[in-house]
Amino acid sequence: MLEQLGIATLDDLKPNSRVVITRVDINSPVDASTKIVTDDSRIREHSRTVKELSGKGAKVVILAHQGRKGDPDFTSLEQHAKILSGILSWPVRFVPDVAGEEAKGAIKSMKPGDVLMLDNVRFLSEETAERSPKEHSRGTLVSALGPLADYFVNDAFAAAHRSHASIVGFAAVLPSAAGRVMEKELAALSKVAGKPEKPSVYVIAGAKPKESFKVAQHVLSNGIADDVLTGGLVANVFLKAKGFKLGEANEKLLDQKGFAQFVSGAREMLGRFPGRIVTPVDLAVEIQGGRSEIAVDDLPTNHYIKDIGKKTVELYGRLLMQAKSIVVNGPLGVYEEDNFSLGTREILRVLTKTEAFSVVGGGHSLAAVYKFGLEKKLPYVSTAGGALISYLSGEALPGVEALKAASKKFS
């Protein structure tokens, strides 16, 4: 049991010979032309939950999504089943159906320990309707599969911000528990997002100011973070709000991306939380393909800003070394380009040296962690993107709320 949240875990189930509908989030990067999955890290993560359930004699029915309707990565889960089978060294049967006769027949014929993957749950249009658990429990998916199952396990923390049928519907009708990934994410995040050990520092960077501002507002207003260190385009917005002129190319980029609208909000935040939002003191710009560093006092520049500078790395490093809890969300520069990866890499390296508990998360941060080979050296790396932002912004996640409500029935 996850005590502070009142959520049951796999330890509370008796899965032997029982049908366990297991929602995982194996939504993976897919090559747009070949449709081949290019990164199996989420499949690897969830394989632990599947292995444990199957090892305990459950009949594991996996539900998952891939992509969004209309997008190039909206594909069948056939290859995900093969990849999972390879990771588990155990057969994973795939049926190209979600809630029809083929899916139901496959579930009925399962034996203890069997693993079955149904097709992309988003092939059912009702899946993505944002409805309440009760409403979803009366829909096609839950009405078809619910009566065949004994338990529901939600392991899909990364999709828990969606009130989708497969995320919330089964929890309304079946004894439900968090899988190991969900459990691990909630345990780690509660350490940095509830009442973190102080000082607590959030590094908020990347190219999504709207989401970043939501997180910054929440953690600063609620005394969760003592300092917010900024990087990436988020830092450019704050620098502009402080009155720095970034130069034509950079200002144009902010306009094109629609980020200029956040400048007045950033100014207001700087006024509300004086000295607590830290911006870079120097920056790396691109000159003829190379890296060149300038102090922010030398702004404006005619060149694109692509990273924080070395003095900023030192400053942020010092602040992080004093912290007891750290969150890093978003890269501090264009880490994909070797000339501009220094800021992101060095800040992540600091996390491997401090005693602080840290969480790194968000799609791009995760990719950066892997690029620099730091995945095993960091205390906690989250696989979530949007769900992490919602959680860090203090929003209730429908998938987690549904598990809490279901766990009450459970006991």
Chain positions contacting ligand 3PG, by CB under 6 A: 25, 27, 68, 158-159, 162, 385-386
242-247, long-range: CB < 8 A, 24+ apart: 242/267, 242/270, 242/279, 244/296, 244/299, 244/300, 245/299, 245/300, 246/299, 246/300, 246/301, 246/305, 247/299, 247/300, 247/301, 247/302, 247/303
29 vs 38: CA distance, rounded Å: 6
Query: Cβ 382 to ligand 3PG, closest distance in Å?
Result: 11
Q: Is 9 or 27 the residue whose CB approaches ligand 3PG more closely?
A: 27
Query: Cβ 211 to ligand 3PG, closest distance in Å?
Result: 12
Strand segments, DSSP code E, in 151-270 are 151-154, 176-178, 200-204, 227-230
Query: Cβ 391 to ligand 3PG, closest distance in Å?
Result: 12
Query: Cβ 71 to ligand 3PG, closest distance in Å?
Result: 8
Distances (CA, A) of 255 to 215, 259, 305: 22, 6, 15
How many CB atoms within 10 Å of residue 4? 10
Q: Rounded to the nearest 5°, which phi and psi values hold at 290?
A: -105, 170
Q: Is 69 or 198 the residue whose CB approaches ligand 3PG more closely?
A: 69
The neighbouring-strand residues paired with 7 are 2
Q: Is 22 or 250 the residue whose CB approaches ligand 3PG more closely?
A: 22
Query: Cβ 386 to ligand 3PG, closest distance in Å?
Result: 5
Q: Is 343 or 362 the residue whose CB approaches ligand 3PG more closely?
A: 362
Query: Cβ 261 to ligand 3PG, closest distance in Å?
Result: 23
Q: Is 25 or 183 the residue whose CB approaches ligand 3PG more closely?
A: 25
Tokens of residue 131, six digits: 């409805």
Q: Is 162 or 345 the residue whose CB approaches ligand 3PG more closely?
A: 162
Nearest-CB residue for ligand 3PG = 27
Query: Cβ 130 to ligand 3PG, closest distance in Å?
Result: 11
Q: Which residue has the tokens 């089943």?
A: 81
Q: Is 30 or 328 the residue whose CB approaches ligand 3PG more closely?
A: 30
Query: Cβ 85 to ligand 3PG, closest distance in Å?
Result: 21
C-beta separation of 229 from 238 below 8 A: no
Beta strands 282-287; 290-295: pairing state? antiparallel
Instruction: Give percent helix, percent strand, percent coil of the chain, each to the nearest 5.
Output: 45, 15, 40
Q: Rounded to the nearest 5°, which phi and psi values hold at 37?
A: -65, 125
Q: Is 77 or 296 the residue whose CB approaches ligand 3PG more closely?
A: 77
